[in-house]
Amino acid sequence: AVQRTFSIIKPDATKRNLTGAITAKLEEAGLRVVASKRIRLTLEQAQTFYAVHKDRPFFGELTEYMTSEPIVVQVLEGEDAIAKNREVMGATNPAEAAEGTIRKEFALSIGENSVHGSDGPDTAKEEIAYFFSGLEIVG
Ligand code: CMP
């Protein structure tokens, strides 16, 4: 079925001018960018977005990193968009990411891993609604 998922191009990637290269990989995978904006997260927004990880030892590092430079938030649409996006991103840890994936090609480390993608339909819905109003998504 046609789905929507939420994607972030992270600080390590925007800083290295990889916004276009990463977006090209997403598009080549059959995903359509139906919303996109460059923003700088506040610490409060990062803590809210990553609240599910608040008890993890890397929470402080993660939220500070996500506020360190601008990010690009996007809504991606396509057939099985959630799984397709996860496939083209590759494993969280770039050392374990498959050849040809975004993280294999661009990520620096498990923290500076260039992209985020929703892990399921419920989180996709929540994450899209956190960053975009309905009017900003044009399918
Ligand atoms: P993301 O998909 O954005 O969701 C949670 C993030 O936590 C994950 O990508 C990683 O970038 C980050 N993360 C996971 N494990 C670690 C770790 N051990 N150290 C630092 N960051 C991590």
The pLDDT value recorded for residue 9 is 99
Contact 42, 50 (CB under 8 A): no
The pLDDT value recorded for residue 56 is 98
Catalytic residue among 34, 82, 116, 128: 116
Q: Cα separation of 75 and 27, whole Å?
A: 12
Radius of gyration from C-alpha coordinates of the chain: 14
Q: Please tell me if the CB atom of residue 111 comes closer than 6 angstroms to any atom of ligand 1.
A: yes
The pLDDT value recorded for residue 48 is 98
Ligand 1: residue of 62, 63, 118 to mutate (most ligand atoms within 8 A of CB) is 62
Q: Cα separation of 108 and 104, whole Å?
A: 9
Angle among Cα 105, 31, 135 to the nearest 5 degrees reads: 125
Contact 77, 34 (CB under 8 A): yes
What's this model's pTM, rounded to 2 decimal places? Answer: 0.98
Ligand 1 centre from 53 Cα, in Å? 9
- DSSP class of residue 9 equals E
* ipTM score over 0.90, yes or no: yes
The pLDDT value recorded for residue 98 is 98
Q: Along the 139 residues of the chain, how does pLDDT read in single tens digits?
A: 999 999 999 999 999 999 999 999 999 999 999 999 999 999 999 999 999 999 999 999 999 999 999 999 999 999 999 999 999 999 999 999 999 999 999 999 999 999 999 999 999 999 999 999 999 999 9
Q: Please tell me if the CB atom of residue 121 comes closer than 6 angstroms to any atom of ligand 1.
A: no
